[in-house]
Amino acid sequence: MEPQKLDEYLKFRNPCPPFASAPDDGRRAQSLRAVCPSGREAPIRNPQSKIRNPKSEIRNRPKAVIPVHLFGQTADMDPIMEIAREHELFVIEDACQAHGAEYKGRPAGSIGGAGCFSFYPGKNLGAYGEAGAVVTNSPQLESKVRMLRDHGQSKRYCHKMIGWNGRMDGIQGAVLSVKLKHLSAWNEARRQNARIYDELLADLDGVIVPQKADHAKHVYHVYAIRVQKRDDLINTLAEKDIHCAIHFRLPVHLQDAYRHLGLGKGSFPVAEKCAEELVSLPMFAELTKEQIEHIASSVKDFYAKRCPESNDVQAAAS
């Protein structure tokens, strides 16, 4: 989401302080329903009435925003932080795909109130099983997260809160501490691979290469291009033993899990279009120049031979 859109959304979502009487035209009630995580009825029952229940109004106000540093490139954090300050929102950076990425020289995960990292095996820094971490400068948050991951224990057999078992296996810590030493070099190799892909694919009709923001040091967890005839392309490449992936075939708002929010098709047209067009080309540190050239020329062949009408799609896709 564009930072300005977030600001507009929050102003619409929460146009007056929670204790004030709020004129309402029904749209507001709709928006409250949309963001209520439990899917329970929105607190404003009569659109013409004043706020009936200030407590539930407070409970349903947004408390945090989670910018996602998608595919290895950081979100534009300055405007997000400014909007968050204005609306008193806590900022949680989802840096699960952005180990070692930077925003204006600052490491991903170090800008908001907390940063979250996944060490799933396929990540730029991956364990040999499930693992993850939360980073924060707040001692209170640190101690709370430490408790939450350990069934809410502050010390043995003393449960301050209800938590869960999120303890990372020692073996994963050992693997990660060895691999961490190589992260910068691996990220640099990914960046170099992306440069080669960019050069080879940039001028190809029907293909849009990933955009690089001036503010970001991209670490290319994923190298996703936007194309037309995606499934045909994927099948053709697979015949040549080039295996691609689709990251996020169905946007979050169209997943069954979020159906109760009532955000149907058309609610987020950009996300929906991207979900139809994105394809992730092979990307890892050890890819060779020759392999990238082979992949890029196979993509070119596909659009030249099998899909000549793709010359029109650049305009359609942008």
Ligand X SMILES: Cc1ncc(COP(=O)(O)O)c(C=O)c1O
How far is 169 from 177, CA to CA, in rounded Å? Answer: 13
Of positions 132, 152, 163, 166, contacts ligand X by CB under 6 A: 132
- Judged by beta carbon, residue 172 or residue 228, the one nearer ligand X is 172
Q: Which stretch binds ligand X (CB under 6 A): 14-22, 38-46, 90-98, 298-306?
A: 90-98
Structure tokens of 239?
A: 């015949």
Give the pair of three-digit tokens for residue 213: 């923001």
The window from 72-80, 91-99, 102-110, 191-199 that contacts ligand X (CB under 6 A) reads 91-99
Rounded distance between C-alpha atoms, residue 215 and residue 95, angstroms: 16
Using rule CB under 6 A, residue 172 touches ligand X: no
| Binding of ligand X by 58 (CB under 6 A) | no
Residue from 56, 118, 187, 310 that binds ligand X (CB under 6 A)? 118
Quick check: 134 binds ligand X (CB under 6 A)? no
**Closest distance to ligand X from the beta carbon of 109 (Å):** 12
Q: Of these, 24, 57, 94, 277, which contacts ligand X (CB under 6 A)? A: 94
Please tell me whether residue 175 adopts helix, strand or coil conformation: helix
Q: How far is the CB of 85 from ligand X (least distance, A)?
A: 24
Q: Least Å distance between CB 47 and ligand X? A: 36
Whole-angstrom Cα distance, residue 63 to residue 282? 38
Residue 230 Cα to chain centre, angstroms: 22
128 within 8 A of 113, measured Cβ to Cβ: no
Beta pairing, strands 102-103 & 216-217: antiparallel
Measured between alpha carbons, how far is 221 from 259 in angstroms, rounded to an integer?
A: 29
- What's the min distance (Å) between Cβ of 130 and ligand X? 6
User: Which C-beta is closer to ligand X: that of 169 or that of 199?
Assistant: 169
Q: Do residues 305 and 232 lie in contact, with contact meaning Cβ atoms separated by under 8 Å?
A: no
Task: Select 201 or 281, whichever has its Cβ closest to ligand X.
Answer: 281
Among the listed residues 219, 230, 125, 127, the one whose alpha carbon sits nearest the alpha carbon of residue 180: 125
The one-letter code for the residue type at 236 is T
Residue nearer to ligand X on the CB measure, 54 or 126: 126
Q: Pairing state of beta strands 90-94 and 64-65? A: parallel
Cβ–Cβ < 8 Å for 218, 206: no
| Cβ distance to ligand X smaller for residue 9 or 120 | 120
- Looking at 19-27, 89-97, 151-159, 307-315, which segment touches ligand X (CB under 6 A)? 89-97
Total binding residues toward ligand X, as defined by CB under 6 A? 7
Q: Nearest residue by C-beta to ligand X?
A: 118
Min separation Cβ 297 and ligand X, Å: 30
Q: Detail the DSSP E strand segments found in 265-308.
A: 278-281
Using rule CB under 6 A, residue 148 touches ligand X: no
Closest residue by Cα to residue 302 from 272, 287, 281: 281
Q: Which of residues 63-82 bind ligand X (CB under 6 A)?
A: 68
Task: Figure out which of the listed residues 90, 120, 128, 284 binds ligand X, where binding follows CB under 6 A.
Answer: 120
Residues of this chain that interact with ligand X (CB under 6 A) are 68, 94, 96-97, 118, 120, 132
